[in-house]
Amino acid sequence: MTGRILLLALAIVAGLMIFTACTTEDAGDPREDTLGVILDRGTLVCGIKADTPGFGVLNPDGSAVGNDVDYCHALAAAIFGDANAVEFKEATSANRFELLAAKEIDVLIRTTTWTASRDADLNVAFAPTTFYDGAGIMVHAGSGVTSVNELGGSTICILDGTSTQGAVSDYFAENGLTYSELTLQDNAAIRGSFIGGQCDAWSSDKSQLGGHQFSLKSDENLDAIVLPETLSKEPLGPSVRDYDSEWEDIVRWVVNGMIIAEEQGVTSANVSQMAANPPNNTVARLLGVGFDGGAPSNLGIGHGRIDGTFMQDVISAVGNYGEAYERTLEAVGLTRAGSLNDSYVNGGLIYAPPMR
Amino acid sequence: MKQYVSELWYHGSTRANLVNVVVGTLAVIIATYLVYSIFVNLFDFRFLTGPYGSPDRSAIFVFLHVEASDPRWLGMLKGAGNTISVVVFAIALASLLGLFVGVARLSTNPILNRLGGIYVETFRNLPLLLLMFFFAFGVFRSLPQIEARTGIDGFFMVSNRGIAVPWLAGAHDFWWLWMIALFAGGAVALWVRRRREQQEDLTGQTMHGNAWALAIFLGVGVVSYVLLLFPLRPALPEVVQSDAGFFAYQHGALLGLGYISALVSVTLYFGAFIAEIVRGSIQAVPHGQVEAASSLGFTTYQRFTLVVLPQALRIMIPALNNEFQNTNKDSTLAHVIAFGEIVLISNRIVNNAGNLLQVYLFIFIVFIVTNLIISTIMNTINKNVQLK
C-alpha cells in the first residue's frame, strides 16, 4: 500500500516537474517564426473566402481566383519565387480567426475588416488595407425607397457573424429607427429570403452587394438598388498572428510594394526591363537592384531568408496593385476610378510608405 | 549486481510498477497542461459586460428579445431562454405525437397503422439538419408574403415572416409579481391538499382536498390579479406598415421563421423515435394482462388506459429520458435557420470578442444543468410508476 502511494507521488512530482520545465520557456517568449515554418514546409497556406466573386472563389480542384487570392500568390512568389507554391484553405466568417490562431493557415486574406477589438482581443495583427469597403443596404427597386433613413420598421437580412450586424445596429440606433434582423448563415439563404420577401432589405459590404445586385438582375431579372449611404468603414486586408513581426513585415511590404510599383509604373510586362535598367532610385530599391551601376541596397525584409529581389518575382507573377484590381474586381463591376480604392495621386486612399 | 538487476526486472510487480509510473506521469502532464491552458485562457471575463452589439428578435416572447445594448451576459441568458422555449414545447408536442402514432401503429385499423408506419420510417431516417433546412427554406419560405398573409387578420396570421398569434402582454413593469403570487398560491394549495388528504387517511372523513386546493389557487390568482391592477392582459397581433411601406408584425406572440421551423422539425423528428418507444413498450406488456382484463369484462378503452398503459409507462420512461435529453441537445442545430438559440447568440459574441473558451464553458453548463433537470424529473416520474 505504501509502495502504491509512493509510486503515485513519484508520478505526480515527475509530471509536474516536466510540465514546469516545458512551460516556463513558452511563457517568457511568445515569439513565433512563421516564415521558418513556411520555408520548411515548402508551401504557403492561405485562408481565403470560397464563394465571393472578385475576392475569393475556391474551385473544387484546390485552385482559386480573386483579388484576395492574388495577394496569396504574391506572398508565395516573394518567399519561394514561385507564385503557385501556395495551398488554399476556405476560411468562413465564423472560423477564420480560430484557423489563424491554431496555425492551420499562415495568413488570412479573406475580406476581413480591421477593427480595434479584433486587433486587441484576438491573436491577430493586420497588414495594410488592400480594399476600402463599407456596409451598405440594398432594397427591391420596386419599393421606391431612396435612402436608408426610410427603412424604419423594415426587416433586414444580414449574414451572421459579420461586422455588418453591428454597423446596421449602430446606424439605426443613432438615427432613431427600428428594424428587425433576419440573420442567416450563408449568402444563398439570404438571397432566397430577399427574393421571397422574408426580408425587405439586404445589408452587406457594398462591394458584395454590387455582385449580388448584378446576379439578381441576370439570373432572376429582379431589379434591386444599393442605397447611397455607407454605414461603416470596412478596411479589408491580410492579417497574421500576433508576436511575429518578421512575418508581418513581409506581408506588409509585399502589399506596399505592389502599391509603390503602381505609383512608379512598374508592371508585370515591364518589370524585367525595369530591373535591368531602373529609371530611378525608388524603383531600384523596390526591385532590389542597384541604381546606375551602384550596389543594391539591402532593406532587410525577411532578414536574409528571402531574396532581396522578391518584388521582381511578385510583380512578374501577379502585377502591381492596379493590375490585380483590374483583373479581379473591375471584372465584377467594382469600378476603381474615383472610389476610395483609387491611388492617392487621383484622390483615393491607396498610399504606401516609402520603400527605403 | 547483474543478477540483482535481472531479478528485479523479471519480478512481476517491478515492470508493472514501471508502466504505472510512466503512464501516471504522462496522465499528470496532460491533465496539468489542460487545466493550465484553460485557466490561462479563461482568466479574463471582462468581455461579459460589453454590449451585445446587434438586435435579435427571433424569440417568441418579447422578454427574450436580445437588444443591441444588452450586456453580453444577458444576451447569453436570453439565448439559453430561447433554447428552453423551443425545447419545452418540442418535448410536449413530440410526446403527444409519439403517443398517438405509437398507439396507431398497434391499431387494427389498416389506414391508421400504415400512416403511422410511413411517418415513423420517414422522419426517423432523415437527418434533423435537413428537416430544418427543408421547413425553413422550403416550406415556410413559400408561404404568402406578409402583404398577402392568410389566416384571420388581427387574430391568427400566417406569412413567410412567421405565424402571429394572440398572447399576453404585461400592463406595467411589475407584471412578474403576479407570477410569484401564482407560484406562492400553488405551493400553499398543494400543502393544504396534502394536509387534508393525510387527515382523510387518518380519520376516514371526506376532506375534499382537491376542491380546497383549487379554491385556494384560484382565489389567490384572482385577488392578486385585481390587487396588481390587472398585470397581464391579452394582446392581439397586428400588422403595421411603416411610412415607406414596409410591413411588420406587432404585439401578440410571433412564431418566427426560425422558431416555427425548429419547433416543427424537432417535434416531427423526435416524435418518430418516441412513437417507436411507445409501440415497443406497449408490446412488451405481457399478453396475458390483456387477456385477463378482457375476461374481467373491461372495455377496449378501459383495458388500454387501466391495464396496458400504466405498465407500458414503467418500461418507456428510461428510454424517453434519453430522447428528451437528445431533444434538448439537438435543438442547437436551429442556429443554422436564424433562430437565436444559445449557440447562435454565443457564436456572435465569439465573433466579436473572441472569448471562445469562456462562452463555450457557459454553453456546456447550460446543457449539463438543463439535462440534469430533465433527468431529475424523469427519474422522479420513474420512481412513482415503478412497482413498489
A residues 168-197 closer than 8 Å to B (CB): 168-170, 173, 179-185, 189, 192-193, 196-197
Distance from C-alpha of B317 to C-alpha of B324, rounded to nearest angstrom: 10
Q: Which CATH architecture has domain B62-166+237-340?
A: Orthogonal Bundle (1.10)
Nearest-CB residue to B29 (from A18, A117, A166):
A18
- Other CB atoms closer than 10 Å to residue B155's CB: what's the count? 13
Average pLDDT, integer, range B82-93: 95
Confidence category of residue A22, pLDDT binned at 50, 70, 90: low
Helical H runs in chain B? 2-10, 12-42, 72-106, 110-124, 128-133, 176-203, 209-227, 257-284, 287-295, 300-302, 309-330, 342-353, 356-385
Distance from C-alpha of B382 to C-alpha of B379, rounded to nearest angstrom: 5
Average pLDDT, integer, range A143-159: 91
> Between these two residues, B252 and A8, which has the higher pLDDT value?
B252
Confirm or reject contact between B110 and chain A (CB < 8 A): no
- Which pLDDT score is estimated for A25? 47
- Other CB atoms closer than 10 Å to residue A310's CB: what's the count? 25
Bridging pattern class, strands A44-48 and A86-90? parallel
Distance from C-alpha of A197 to C-alpha of B159, rounded to nearest angstrom: 10
Average pLDDT, integer, range A309-332: 93
Provide the strand spans (E) within A75-141.
86-90, 107-108, 125-126, 131-133, 135-140
Distance from C-alpha of A195 to C-alpha of B141, rounded to nearest angstrom: 10
Could you tell me which CATH number the domain at A35-131+236-265+312-346 has? 3.40.190.10
Average pLDDT, integer, range A241-267: 95
Tell me the average pLDDT of chain B.
Answer: 89
A residues 68-107 closer than 8 Å to B (CB): 93-94, 97-98
Confirm or reject contact between B246 and chain A (CB < 8 A): yes
Question: Angle at Cα A70 formed by Cα A344 and Cα A48, nearest 5°?
Answer: 110
Distance from C-alpha of A290 to C-alpha of A288, rounded to nearest angstrom: 7
- Whether B187 shows a pLDDT value over 90: the answer reads yes
Q: Are A307 and A81 in contact (CB under 8 A)?
A: yes
B250: helix, coil or strand? strand
Bridging pattern class, strands B150-152 and B156-159? antiparallel
Q: Which has the minimum average pLDDT: A210-224, B27-41, B64-78?
A: B27-41
Average pLDDT, integer, range B332-341: 90
State the nearest Cα–Cα gap between A340 and chain B, in angstroms: 26
Per-residue pLDDT tens over the stretch A46-60: 999 988 888 998 988
Q: Do A94 and B351 touch (CB under 8 A)?
A: yes
Q: Where in chain A is the domain with CATH 3.40.190.10?
A: 35-131+236-265+312-346, 135-232
The CATH number of A135-232, from 3.40.50.2000, 3.40.50.920, 3.40.190.10, 1.10.150.120, is: 3.40.190.10
C-alpha cell at B226: 385585481
Q: Which has the minimum average pLDDT: A128-137, B80-89, B147-156?
A: B147-156
> Between these two residues, A94 and A252, which has the higher pLDDT value?
A252
- The residue behind cell 495577394 is A71
Average pLDDT, integer, range A325-344: 87
- The residue behind cell 403517443 is B99
- Which pLDDT score is estimated for B240? 87
Task: Tell me the domain boundaries of chain B.
Answer: 2-43, 62-166+237-340, 169-235
Confidence category of residue A23, pLDDT binned at 50, 70, 90: low
The DSSP line for A10-56 is: HHHHHHHHHHHHHHHHHHH-----HHHHHHHHSSEEEEE-SEETTTE
The reported pTM is: 0.72
- Which pLDDT score is estimated for A28? 46
Count of CA atoms in the C-beta half-sphere (13 A) of A157: 26
Confidence category of residue A218, pLDDT binned at 50, 70, 90: confident
Confidence category of residue A219, pLDDT binned at 50, 70, 90: confident
C-alpha cell at B222: 384572482
Distance from C-alpha of B294 to C-alpha of B303, rounded to nearest angstrom: 7
> Between these two residues, B315 and A10, which has the higher pLDDT value?
B315
- Whether A41 shows a pLDDT value over 80: the answer reads yes
- Whether B130 shows a pLDDT value over 90: the answer reads yes
